[in-house]
Structure 1
């Protein structure tokens, strides 16, 4: 029974981490590309094309904004990932303390992990 719970918890955590890593990477990529696009559009305005503030090539500023956007997105999403991991570990601890059934987890989280009979038991 205990080994089944451990294996079940490992599979739950692994599944959430793999899916979460892909989604978080796509989020980082979107944020960094949006910041690079914003930098390019800002540098493409008339203000930076005039003779006094003329920029010959926007490549370096756009790449710098892309890199800075990626760093900021990585720091932000690290906090999000840590909160997701904390919620999953709390769920697994709750399931371990109650012989494989989480008593204090919200119904949506129980439904997400595919434990439909638990959702029906809590609803009654």
Structure 2
């Protein structure tokens, strides 16, 4: 099973990738079948759940695609692994991670950086 620090780091990575991007707007609530080939390739780990997501969540996830193109291969692989790990979480686990993310965002910037650094260190040591 994937460790909590690793999943938390995955959530942080995905949040950074999901910041707003300027691009032509696809349908506001596209079904999986309406996505382009590249969008489906990038978001493939979420295919089974895609049509159940809200329009807002879909748009948020689609914002990953343009940034994904520019990532080095290693980071692309990590994004795919993180999307897969997220799709395999239970609703309760997702709720807990979102709650922790909200708490993290409320911390002062210097304290937030310390927590992020500690999580990265924990993640690095658990990966060895």
Answer 1 or 2: which has greater helix percent. 1
**TM-score between the two structures when normalised by the length of structure 1:** 0.27
Q: Point out the structure with max Rg over C-alpha.
A: 1
